[in-house]
Amino acid sequence: MDQGAAIQMLLNRVAITDLIHAYCFHFDRNEPAAVAALFSADAVVDYGPEVPDLIGAQAISAAIASGLTKTFAATSHHVSNVTITFDTPDQAHSICYLYAWHRYHNGAPDGELWGQYHHRFAREPDGWRISSLVLKAAGSQDFHRATMHPIGRR
């Protein structure tokens, strides 16, 4: 890789990581339109087997808005272990870890989730977007969903 390509790849890593962070930030502030704006127009979000796939920014925004209004009184999505792989200079996928804390409107005990986001990203004319997101769980406690995609532990 020449120097220019290496620098561009490093800048792309920053942009993609910031995109993951922006998802958490806007989700936790209950800004569903700002969350949806991070996704490609035809993006697919899979939050688990209990929920139909969300397809497209409109569906993503509506589903997130509903959860943020009806289910959650407060949330905090802490992502780490962000590991990015470039498939082409304009397409990438990543795995990151998620430790998410949830406070519920219904007064149930706070829910905790220890899991992973598996993302795909595409670079569009005005910047990187999330093209797909799959949520997987290593485990949870007092979480509002009983069944999640597993992380694939043997």
Nearer to its own copies, 41 or 74 (CB): 74
Query: 137 and 149 in contact (C-beta within 8 Å)?
Result: yes
Measured CA to CA, the distance from residue 146 to residue 140 in angstroms comes to: 9
Considering Cα of 6, then 89, then 40, then 61, what sign does the dihedral take? Answer: negative
The residue with tokens 């569906």 is 59
Our CB check for its own copies shows the closer of 58 and 81 to be 81
Residues lying near its own copies in the complex (CB under 8 A): 3-4, 6-7, 10-11, 13-14, 18, 20-22, 24-25, 28-31, 74-83, 95, 97, 99, 101, 103, 110, 114-115, 138-139, 141, 151-154
Residue position matching structure tokens 């999640």: 148
And the tokens for 58? 């409109």
Shortest distance, position 115 Cβ to its own copies, whole Å: 7
Q: How far is the CB of 141 from its own copies (least distance, A)?
A: 7
Nearest to its own copies of 66, 141 (CB atom): 141
